[in-house]
Amino acid sequence: MYPYIHIPVLFTIHFFGRSLPVGGDIGTFGIMLWFAAVCAGWMLHLNFRRWKIDADAIGIIAVSTVAGVVGAKLWHVLEDPQALIHNPLAQLFDRAGFAWFGGLAAGILALIWQGRSYGIGRLAMLDLATAAAAVGYGVGRLGCLTSGDGDYGIPTKLPWGMAFPHGLVPTDPGVHVHPTPIYELIVALFIAWILWRRGSPQRPKPIGQLTGEYLVLSGIARFVVEFIRINPKIYWGMSNAQVASIGSVIAGLGLILWTRRHGAFQPLSAQPEAVPADSH
């Protein structure tokens, strides 16, 4: 694994008595996060195009990605408040340690805000971004794989088991573990394919239903993969992520039931202003 890629220092910027070298070690997690944002932006752009919506997909994804990273870091550090109080700067600026559900919550809030700003509607924007979110999550998991940041699984003797002796969170010598980021990439792409097909303009769904389906599918996927992850079991034999996954599934099912009773079926390309008042 390669947590960092070394680039020779090209030059140094001096300001306010401090030196900032341009170059050095660049984290592969950050590189893959950027690539995940690009893939998600392209998917959202394609969805906007087929729905004939004039909106800046790249800008929307950029804002949501930044919000998601901040949310993921805050969720992670707040899981251990004692460590945060003891050494806040080290916890907040550590390159490892991001919680997906914190990123999901912050990303949703960013999309809701932008949906209203663009006049698309809050729930409508979330529906349009579901396939993009699934793709972005799956590709982003490759950053966990390349950096070896501890998101791998428990030891295994399966032939595709991997070792992370030089990762940010190294495995023990000679130990091979489940490459759970690869599992999550495969499942995430499958979820994206399902949501893309179900989100076709030719078969419009009640506004908000795709968001509910995304919460259910992604919640189930995360709940299952946690059984072979190394995360500690805290609540009733479940990890933090599994408890959050149950909340995601419940919220998704509730949203699906609500939209089937109260949602509108108008294609967004035909009447973007016809989104129900409840979703604005």
Q: What is the pLDDT of residue 87?
A: 60
Contacts of 176 (CB under 8 A, 6+ apart): 155, 156, 157, 161, 162, 163
Instruction: Report pTM.
Output: 0.82
So what's the pLDDT on residue 63?
Answer: 94
The domain locations on the chain are 29-279
Distance CA 199, CA 190 (A): 14
Residues 195 and 63: their CA atoms lie apart, in Å, by: 22
Tell me what pLDDT residue 277 has: 39
Please report the DSSP string for the chain in residue order. Answer: --SEEEEEEEEEEEETTEEEEEEEEEEHHHHHHHHHHHHHHHHHHHHHHHTT----HHHHHHHHHHHHHHHHHHHHHHTSHHHHHHSHHHHHT-SS---HHHHHHHHHHHHHHHHHHTTS-HHHHHHHHHHHHHHHHHHHHHHHHHHT-S--BSB--STT-B--TTSSSPPPTT--B--HHHHHHHHHHHHHHHHHHHT-TTS---TTHHHHHHHHHHHHHHHHHGGGB-PPP-BTTB-HHHHHHHHHHHHHHHHHHHHHHH-----TTT-GGGS-GGG-
Q: What is the pLDDT of residue 33?
A: 87
pLDDT of residue 209: 94
Tens of pLDDT along the chain (280 residues) come to 677 787 776 667 776 666 666 667 778 888 898 999 999 999 999 999 999 999 999 999 999 999 988 888 787 677 666 655 566 555 555 655 567 667 778 889 999 999 988 889 999 999 999 999 999 999 999 998 999 888 899 999 999 999 999 888 899 999 999 999 999 999 999 999 999 999 999 888 999 999 999 999 999 999 999 999 988 888 888 998 899 899 999 999 999 999 988 866 654 544 343 344 344 4
| pLDDT value for 235 | 81
